Amino acid sequence: MREVSAVTTCERARKMTTPKQRARELRRDSTKAETLLWAQLRDRRLNGYKFRRQHPIGPFFADFACIEQRLVVELDGDSHDWTYERDEARKRSLARDGYRVLRIPNEEVRTNLDGVVQTILNALRAT
């Protein structure tokens, strides 16, 4: 009998989840910055624009997406420091699908939430 490691089991379980299940998992495990920003974007609170949280777009999950304006807002934490190439590939893929990507550091959300919200609003109005 072959011994299965916890990592292998976890990876296998993640691959078997549907996009809807994965989105729920990501929403459940959101960062403090995601929670703070979501409080500002949910329920059309930002000038009536509808945002979705952890929304699947192709093979990716957008932290926040305004589908009607084709804007994706990605919050970057420590984990993004080492994934620059992957983030750029993701950005190019989303751009091919007609999305603009706005990247915001988690620290900026925590220290300047009003400025972040204004930046998102400016991006929405720029379309």
Domains and CATH numbers, the chain: 18-125 (3.40.960.10)
* pLDDT for 28 beyond 60: yes
Residue by residue, DSSP assigns 62-125 as: EEEEETTTTEEEEEE-GGGGG-HHHHHHHHHHHHHTT-EEEEEEHHHHHH-HHHHHHHHHHHHH
Q: What is the model's pLDDT at position 52? A: 95
What whole-number percentage of the chain has pLDDT above 70? Answer: 83
pLDDT tens-digit series, residues 31-67: 899 999 999 999 999 999 999 998 989 888 899 999 9
